[in-house]
Structure 1
Amino acid sequence: MPVDRRALLALPLLGLAAGLLAAGSGADSSIYYALGTLPVLAVLLVEMVRSLRAGILGLDAIAALAMAAGLALGEPLAANIVGLMYALGQFLEDYAHRRAGAEMTALMARQPRSVMRHEACGLVEIPIESVASGDLLLIPRGAILPVDGTLASDLAVLDTAALTGEPMPVRYRHGETLLSGCGNAGETFDLRATTDARASTYARIMDIVRDAAESRAPMSRLADRWSLVFLVITLVLAGGAWIVTGEARRALAVLVIATPCPLILAVPVALLAGLSRAAKLGLLVKSAAVLESLARIRVLVTDKTGTLTLGSPAISEIAGDAEALRMGASLDQATQHPVARALVAAARERGLVLATPEDVREVPGEGLEGRVGGRQVAVGGARWIAELAGAEPPSLPAHDIPPGSIRCAIALDGKPAATLLLHDPPRSEAREVVDALRRGGVERIVLASGDALEPVEAMARHIGADAAHARQTPASKVVLVESERQNGPVLMLGDGLNDAPALASADVGLAVGTRGAAAAQAADAVLLADNLRPLVAAHRAARHARDIALQSALAGIGLSAIGMLAAAFGYLAPVEGALLQQGIDAAVVLNALRALKD
């Protein structure tokens, strides 16, 4: 059964108060100090046994030794202060975890438990677990969207702040995609579910939150190893002081000032605070280890389309006839890729009647193949189509290609039929974010895209990249990430299925937005907003949290070491040492909580 940290803190505090009152009236105070200490010692011994069964021995052993030695050597006040110090440390750590996890807990508290579904007999309230793709759901004013879906009504006004940080309500039209976790800030509307509750955007975010809250960073594991070294040093120093001087009270003074070690408090508290801060800024980090890695990033490898661009291209030029466009757009109905959506939109704007595609096969990073109306159709990058057809697709008028432009082509029955130029404008914040990352310690920027060389080079010039690699396949992006690791830890930034392997192979893989399920699943962190600016603030928060963790741990260990030496040479009595260490431990935990702020 979990121990109530408040009750554990109250017992030695009451014992101390009763003992001081007794001492002031001339009565024996020892019994009160001892009674306040024994329950804490008992709880600590039980927790030590559990830890030993799990193969863990930490600095709690010093606290137990200090309390037991204080009682045995006639220093019950020192033992009581150690017990109070241990209970206070546990209380502060518990408070820090609850305070640091407040942003994540707020996300989890928003999860709806039930929803109204349209059925033949009318509206029926069902558990959220019963929602299936295709269900028509009623979303009343103020309700949280339980699953992802498309708007079945004419208009919806959503509060997206919990997912994107956008403070103003956002208006959506019929047929647009709505993400779970947003709140209905307008009138009641109908939602056509496209996922069940388990596969929704919000559910994936909750999984990330839970994993992050339970994770431990390499720095925390290193702190554990340092803790064991510190334990050995403490026992040697305490034993040496006793042997050399013959004074057991000196050994006790060394033990009490070494209890507990700031390492086991400061590091996890600071990193968890950093996770919470990043979540508040709009970057959901999957673990404390990822947060620590993010603070050490030196190389950024980034995708282009949908990552540095808006991901909503429109056709600006076409070399080919309407039939080629109709056939290509018909095939592209089978995917939600931004370029495919642009082709479909262009065909419909021209009044072309689209057919149903069959036997569709997607080649990640290249394009689609399939049959439309009995004809073999392929749509993808111009280079890929040229390789498939054995001939170059029709030429576009020669001119400078603006940043963010994409050249794709269509083949019919194995022959090039059309070439299209689509313009996908760069995000307004792209150059600003790259410059800010450079100022934050990122030394090298590399652009990696499956697009042709011209638009990739144009985008590289726009953001000031150090290198640009065009016509990248998913496999070649992985190779690129691995090769760039020689320049330092690598952050991979992407948004699509073709980026997933590279996201998984990088030191930190970061998916932009929540539209790409595969990218979000492979990534170590997810930008909740479809905007790059939170990355800069979260990178700064990660570095801030790591610096504070190191600062708190090293300062706490340094002060403790000075106090231990002073105690070994007889300059600190056991009670004085216990009071000093209590102040040190409280200070490092409170300092670690600074990671919650800029």
Structure 2
Amino acid sequence: MQHASSDRLKTGLLLFAVAGLLSGIALYVAGRVEMAGIAWFVGVVPVLVALLVEILRSLWQGEVGLDIVAALSMTAALAFDETLAAAVVAVMYSGGTFLESFAEGRARREMHDLLSRVPRTATRHRNGGLEDVPLGDIELGDLLLIRQGDVVPVDGLVASEGAFVDTSAMTGESLPVRLLRGAEAMSGSTNAGEPFDLTATRLAEESTYAGIVRLVEEAQRSKAPMARLADRWSLGFLAVTIAIAVAAWWFTGDPIRAVAVLVVATPCPLILAVPVALVAGLSRAAHFGVLIKGAGPLETMARVRTLILDKTGTLTDGRPQIVLIDSRDGMGEDEILRFAAALDQASKHPVAQAIVAAAKARGLVLPVPSDVAEIPGEGVVGRIDGHEVVVGGADFVAERVGRPLGDTPVGAAGSVLVAVAVDGHLAGHLVMADPLREGISDMLAGLRREGIQRILLATGDRAAVAERVTEGLGLDALRAGLTPDQKVLLVLSERKNGPVIMVGDGVNDAPALAAADVGVAMGARGAAAAAEAADVVLLVDRIDRLGVGIEVARRARRIAVESVVAGIGLSVAGMIAAAFGYLTPVQGALLQEVIDVAVILNALRALWIKPHDAISGQE
């Protein structure tokens, strides 16, 4: 509402100023010179009054900006009967603020799209029928029907044979994604295929999409440190403007030259280019699945020199995968996996669920286990198709078969080893590991090209495991066995090398994320505490988006600086020309209007940043 009322006021002031300018010109052409002056005067007054109110409000808050120059130029032009110049300045100033508002609105469009897509109700299976319920009534475990075109209302697991979802609004992926039974479906994605059932795993207020909406609202309310820096620069520019205007009047005795100088300086590109470029950068980063909580973190992100990465769930996928099936009894790999997965259907242990998922991915048909008994933390025993099967740790399985299992399979160091026995004989081992995410090496190389000078790993895992996983990545340092407070100390100690960015996904990473200059959370599957503490949230479960986010931040900041430097340089040149009498007040006003439009259009280039590391097809 506040944005809407402000936009209406800016639109009204622009229309009034334009009406005054055009009616005055018509009267002047008709030979009614005095009436033309009155029309121009009337068109200026509302803009000047609104400007003075804004200046007083800013001074009350302890801020001094370049709006003062605009007020001085209009006041001086009216005082010296340069009403046409004052009218042009009024149109220029109100037009500039309107264009700024339009530009920021365009830059926020993708964020507003997120908000406008929030579903209000969901369709739930209940007592053999369907009912529409508010999102707040959805409970964990509820079975929901997601029709074609529906937005997924809460995070959940696909309960049908499969689903075809469009995640472009959340991740920037241009192609729909196929999800199999049991796969995680992210709230906010859209059903692009046939209707499917979804089992709710999070409440509406805890789901990914609800969290993203809250973070978007925070981002929109922020003000960048760079914008405050621009305000400080504005004091110097204001002093230079007044000095040139006074000098022109003093040495020539012609007050009109001072008026021309003030007009050329109104308004400064500083107050236009910086917020437009940074807000555009926020929107562009969100397009690629990188939600930055405001322009401040974006500007800091553009200056980082040190990167600290967590391991599990960040550098690695965080979910164990089968990397080797070791056969010991002549049984085929698929048969070993089938026995293990069929029995593990009765267990909720993460390793067991990973084994079941691997078997389904291979298309194996899993029979229903019977006579199942699970010893928590050790293993599972039961019967599959009449065979007695034991799945678990080596010691557990060895105890059940009554003999040692022999040597550990090659490549099992630093991995999870699951033994499988069938009818009292060791059938083989499933070697499971948490591998590096795809594209890690390329991403780190790209970050170094972007100016990241130090890359470190900070993990609570054992040093041997961390060293094995990160071998060949060329990290500058590796810190293993760290507690949450030790991660914080590492972040603080690395600040001597420049701004630090920390990336993590777990609750134990939250303190370090908060301590870093820029904290980045893996938001797709990470803990809520990490997302709350972080400055940046990766909306898609891909660490390679970090490189995209940093590149967008750097280029958006560079565009802002370019716009400011070019705009100020042109304004100063115009002021000097006006001081020497080469520009009249009207000509100066028109020149400054051209400068302001140019810097805003240049700042809007941030909306079309194309990161080198962006995934093919996202555009």
> Under TM normalisation by the shorter chain, which class is it?
0.7 to 0.9
Deviations 1:460-517 (A, max 9, x none): 3332212222222222222222222222221212222232222222221112241112
* Corresponding position of 1:527: 538
* Corresponding position of 1:572: 583
* Corresponding position of 1:26: 31
Deviations 1:88-136 (A, max 9, x none): 1111101111111122112222111222233449433233333333433
Residue of structure 2 aligned with 1:164, choices 171, 183, 195: 171
Aligned 8 A contact 1:510 1:527 in 2: yes
What is the CA–CA distance in structure 1 between the aligned matches of 2:225 and 2:245, rounded to whole Å? 30
Distance 1:427 1:299, change over 3 A: same
Partner secondary structure for residue 284 of structure 1: strand
Aligned 8 A contact 2:166 2:189 in 1: yes
* Corresponding position of 1:77: 84
Aligned 8 A contact 1:96 1:269 in 2: yes
**Backbone CA RMSD of aligned residues:** 3.3
Farther off after superposition, 341-350 or 561-570: 341-350
Q: How does 1:206-355 map to 2 (within 5 A)?
A: 206-314=213-321, 333=348, 342=354, 353=372
Distance 1:346 1:273, change over 3 A: closer
Distance 1:421 1:242, change over 3 A: same
Deviations 1:181-225 (A, max 9, x none): 011122223323232222110011111111112211111111111
The answer to whether the aligner puts 1:7 opposite 2:17 as a matched pair is no
Aligned 8 A contact 1:407 1:451 in 2: no
Farther off after superposition, 564-573 or 500-509: 564-573
Farther off after superposition, 70-79 or 239-248: 239-248
Aligned 8 A contact 1:78 1:575 in 2: yes
Partner secondary structure for residue 578 of structure 2: helix
What is the CA–CA distance in structure 2 between the aligned matches of 1:13 and 1:396, rounded to whole Å? 87
Question: How big is the shift at 1:230?
Answer: 2.2
Farther off after superposition, 33-42 or 112-121: 112-121
Farther off after superposition, 201-210 or 443-452: 443-452
Distance 1:345 1:533, change over 3 A: closer
* Corresponding position of 2:548: 537
* Corresponding position of 2:603: 592
Residue of structure 2 aligned with 1:561, choices 572, 575, 580: 572
How many aligned positions are there?
545
* Corresponding position of 1:425: 435
Question: How big is the shift at 1:78?
Answer: 0.6
* Corresponding position of 1:459: 469
What is the CA–CA distance in structure 2 between the aligned matches of 1:317 and 1:479, rounded to whole Å? 41
What is the CA–CA distance in structure 1 between the aligned matches of 2:552 and 2:60, rounded to whole Å? 37
Partner secondary structure for residue 462 of structure 1: coil
The answer to whether the aligner puts 1:151 opposite 2:161 as a matched pair is no
Distance 1:73 1:395, change over 3 A: farther
Farther off after superposition, 293-302 or 265-274: 293-302
The answer to whether the aligner puts 1:65 opposite 2:65 as a matched pair is no
What is the CA–CA distance in structure 2 between the aligned matches of 1:48 and 1:346, rounded to whole Å? 65
Distance 1:273 1:191, change over 3 A: same
What amino acid sits opposite 2:11 in the alignment? R
* Corresponding position of 2:140: 133
* Corresponding position of 1:437: 447
Distance 1:193 1:484, change over 3 A: same
What is the CA–CA distance in structure 1 between the aligned matches of 2:442 and 2:608, rounded to whole Å? 23
What is the CA–CA distance in structure 2 between the aligned matches of 1:406 and 1:472, rounded to whole Å? 20
What is the CA–CA distance in structure 1 between the aligned matches of 2:300 and 2:372, rounded to whole Å? 51
Deviations 1:346-389 (A, max 9, x none): 999996946597xxxxxxxxxx99xxxxxxxxx99xxxxxxxxx
What is the CA–CA distance in structure 1 between the aligned matches of 2:565 and 2:154, rounded to whole Å? 46
Farther off after superposition, 258-267 or 244-253: 244-253
Aligned 8 A contact 1:514 1:520 in 2: no
Residue of structure 2 aligned with 1:582, choices 575, 593, 613: 593
* Corresponding position of 1:114: 121
Aligned 8 A contact 2:306 2:499 in 1: yes
What is the CA–CA distance in structure 2 between the aligned matches of 1:349 and 1:553, rounded to whole Å? 68
What is the CA–CA distance in structure 2 between the aligned matches of 1:432 and 1:566, rounded to whole Å? 52
What amino acid sits opposite 2:577 in the alignment? A
Question: How big is the shift at 1:54?
Answer: 3.3
Aligned 8 A contact 2:146 2:196 in 1: yes
Farther off after superposition, 305-314 or 266-275: 305-314
What amino acid sits opposite 1:26 in the alignment? G
Question: How big is the shift at 1:407?
Answer: 5.7
What amino acid sits opposite 2:554 in the alignment? R
Partner secondary structure for residue 552 of structure 1: helix
Deviations 1:391-439 (A, max 9, x none): xxx997485668xx54699xxxxxxxxx996312222201010111111
Percentage of pairs with the same residue: 51
Partner secondary structure for residue 509 of structure 1: strand
Question: How big is the shift at 1:456?
Answer: 1.8
Aligned 8 A contact 1:8 1:87 in 2: yes
Distance 1:397 1:147, change over 3 A: same
The answer to whether the aligner puts 1:56 opposite 2:63 as a matched pair is yes
Q: How does 1:391-540 map to 2 (within 5 A)?
A: 397=408, 405-406=414-415, 422-516=432-526, 517-540=528-551
What is the CA–CA distance in structure 2 between the aligned matches of 1:458 and 1:464, rounded to whole Å? 13
Deviations 1:50-92 (A, max 9, x none): 3344343322122122112211211011101110110111111
Normalization by structure 1: what TM-score?
Answer: 0.83
Partner secondary structure for residue 206 of structure 2: coil
Partner secondary structure for residue 456 of structure 2: strand
What is the CA–CA distance in structure 2 between the aligned matches of 1:213 and 1:262, rounded to whole Å? 21
Partner secondary structure for residue 133 of structure 2: strand
What amino acid sits opposite 2:272 in the alignment? L
What is the CA–CA distance in structure 1 between the aligned matches of 2:373 and 2:281, rounded to whole Å? 50
Aligned 8 A contact 2:64 2:231 in 1: no
Partner secondary structure for residue 555 of structure 1: helix
What is the CA–CA distance in structure 1 between the aligned matches of 2:368 and 2:438, rounded to whole Å? 30
Normalization by structure 2: what TM-score?
Answer: 0.80
Aligned 8 A contact 1:460 1:468 in 2: no
Unaligned runs of at least 5 residues, structure 2: 327-339, 360-365, 379-391, 394-404, 419-428, 610-619
What is the CA–CA distance in structure 1 between the aligned matches of 2:541 and 2:447, rounded to whole Å? 18
Partner secondary structure for residue 274 of structure 2: helix
Aligned 8 A contact 1:401 1:458 in 2: no
Question: How big is the shift at 1:44?
Answer: 1.9
* Corresponding position of 1:36: 43
